[in-house]
Amino acid sequence: MDTRSHLPVNRRRRSLMAALPLLVCGLGLGDARAERSVLRDSRLLMGTRVDISVAAANPALARRAINLAWTEMGRLVDMMSHFSATSVVAAINLAAGVQAVQVPAELMRVLKMAQQESVRSRGAFDITVGSIRGWSFDPHQPGMPSGEAVARQLPLVDFRRVVLDEQAGTAFLTQRGMRIDLGGIAKLPILEAGIETLKRNGIASAMINGGGDVAVGGPLEERPWRIGVRDPRAPQRLLGVLPVTEGFVVSSGDYERFFMRHGQRLHHILNPGTGRPTEGLRGVTLVARDLESVNGVGASLMVAGAAAARQRVRREAGLEGLWVKADGTLSMSPGLAHRWVGA
């Protein structure tokens, strides 16, 4: 389960490049015509850098659409961040064990996705892992809870105690002290909302890269966007390139945000069963056309391991991926291998 935090702005800026597991290539070399038609904008959002790239013949229309996309994504971040005291998620956490909280439709959708992925993964994904407090993966101020603190908080981690009433539009955590953290499942819906906003405002070709998770809406000049995937074993190196015209490319890994303690790499994806960082995989990259097929799955597989990754991509149509085990062994689904372009 992804527990990446919203770092203070000055520290976020220093850590942006280290936090990007994907490198977005976007254009083919020498494609000057496509290069001239692409407008780009970047901002800090969700604790990382978010890049919007759109292809449009009308720059004024493109800039207006980009600004509207930023506004919509910012609205959803304000709703779903547990770091903001005024967010709906913060209200749910504050009311744990006391009362249900009214939630907007966009948040209910994300909570339902989390619930479904928790069931599919048999608890490998669990937003209530936010109940484990004390971890800090800020490289400048790392921190970890004691074993006693983790053991005391682990009984609060149980996705079955998140009660959703779709008819009433409410969410309720049944036990005092429980907290949800949507860090592993809210980002893609927010990026998707940005893409949909761009489409509604006249943009037929766009890509949004949110700290390495990429949403693509429409081809670039009738050609795919080219998404470069970093190697989990050596994140400074490009492993290969994926051509994408529509959908999502998502990466999770132990190299994104971590600190070293007694020779052990402690990273931001926590195992809901132990309250500690996962140990099964070094990294996983997944590709799917629709959001429901991929959202939350990367964090699940980081917990569940290589065998689960192999079974998941084999079982679910439309989901492809690659994963790297702790010993450095890389595996790739046949469908992804067919699309893959080596670096």
Q: Please state, rounded to an integer, the average pLDDT across all residues of the chain.
A: 88
241: nearest Cα among 22, 12, 11: 22
Q: Is the pLDDT of residue 27 over 50?
A: no
Domains located in the chain, CATH noted: 9-75+204-342 (3.10.520.10), 80-173 (1.10.3980.10)
Question: 253: pLDDT confidence band, cut at 50, 70 and 90?
Answer: confident
Instruction: Taking residues 55-66, report their average pLDDT.
Output: 94
Predicted pLDDT at 45: 95
Q: For residue 186, with 0-12 CB atoms within 10 Å meaning exposed, 13-18 middle and 19 or more buried, which class applies?
A: buried
Angle between helices 105-120 and 187-200 (to 10 degrees): 130
Is residue 253 within 8 A of residue 283, CB to CB? The reply is yes
**Beta partners for residue 342, in sequence order:** 240
Least confident residue range of 135-149, 291-305, 318-332: 135-149
- In this predicted structure, what is the pLDDT of residue 233? 79
Model confidence pLDDT, tens digit, residues 105-119: 999 999 999 999 999
Closest alpha carbon to 232 in 307, 330, 98: 330
- In this structure, which amino acid lies at residue 205? S
The answer to whether residue 201 scores a pLDDT higher than 80 is yes
Could you read off the pLDDT of 228-251 as tens digits, one per residue? 998 887 878 888 999 999 999 999
Q: Which two tokens stand for residue 335?
A: 């469908």
pLDDT at 295: 97
Q: Is 184 annotated as a binding residue?
A: yes
Structure-token match 């339902």, residue found: 112
Reported pTM: 0.89
